Amino acid sequence: MSVVNIKNASIYQDNHLVLSDVSFSVEEGEMVYLVGKTGSGKSSLLKTLYADLDLKRGQADICNFKLGDIKGKDIPFLRRNMGIVFQDFQLLPDRTVTQNLEFAMKATGWKEKILIETKVRQVLEEVGMKNKGYKFPHELSGGEQQRIAIARALVNNPKLILADEPTGNLDPETSRAIMSILLKLKENNRALIMVTHDYSLIEDFPGRMFFCNKGKLEEISELPF
């Protein structure tokens, strides 16, 4: 079953066309990499998928939401079906790990305290951080912060995880540990789309590859660099 289905889409950053005639689909449980030089449109494509950038041309069905005519009030419901992991973690510095997760859950409609507490424990255990709930972000290493960011991405049981350079600020050993966690998530049929410049990770953790180059997106069978 497709969680992403895009046809003849044009991807814009502000009013600047960065990718044209984009067509691809991603099935449940698939691992997909977006590669290409800085400024080639990879992050803009991700932002379009989670409706941070408007889809001005073409068709895109993401987790059963049509982006071309999605209304602002429906964007939070779209994002409940996906998890987003950023390079710089984007944790709230004045809240503990548990409070960060609770904040994200309440923002997406969770209300019952017992259910929230149970889910927090579950996702922290899933990323190997079950004893770190009381810590503040500054008390954690970069790798630990990224584990928490992944836990936050999991709270709504997403069908799709979008990761924008999730290992960009981490050392090689920690990067591989984070990749192992991300790939383990596919056991629940979650699809993963990841932007990366670390091509050694692709060699160690193979998946489908799409190359952003000269305003186009093409699927490739080997790294272009």
Residue 12 maps to a domain: no
Is residue 107 classed exposed, middle or buried when 0-12, 13-18 and 19+ CB atoms within 10 A define those classes?
Answer: exposed
Q: Name the token pair of 61.
A: 């069905």
What's the domain count of the chain? 1
Residue 11 maps to a domain: no
Residue 63 maps to a domain: no
Residue 21 maps to a domain: no
Please state, in angstroms and rounded to a whole number, the distance separating the CA atoms of residues 62 and 47: 12
Q: Name the token pair of 15.
A: 């009013």
pLDDT of residue 26: 96
Residue 162 maps to a domain: yes
Domain extent, residue 174, equals: 30-51+83-220
pLDDT of residue 182: 87
Please state, in angstroms and rounded to a whole number, the distance separating the CA atoms of residues 42 and 57: 17
pLDDT of residue 108: 81
Q: Which residues of 150-175 are buried (b: 16+ CB within 10 A; e: fewer)?
A: bbbbbbbebbbbbbbbbbebbeeebb
Residue 24 maps to a domain: no
Contacts of 15 (CB under 8 A, 6+ apart): none
pTM for this structure?
0.91
pLDDT values of the chain reduced to their tens digit, one per residue, 225 residues: 899 999 999 999 888 999 999 999 999 999 999 999 988 999 999 999 999 999 989 999 999 999 998 999 999 889 889 999 988 888 999 999 999 999 998 988 888 999 999 999 999 998 999 999 999 999 999 999 989 999 999 998 898 999 999 888 888 899 999 898 888 877 788 999 999 988 889 998 999 999 999 999 999 988 877
pLDDT of residue 184: 81
pLDDT of residue 137: 95
Residue 202 maps to a domain: yes
Residue 75 maps to a domain: no
CATH number of the domain that residue 163 is part of: 3.40.50.300
Cα-based distances in Å from 219 to 37, 50, 84, 145:
15, 21, 23, 32
pLDDT of residue 86: 84
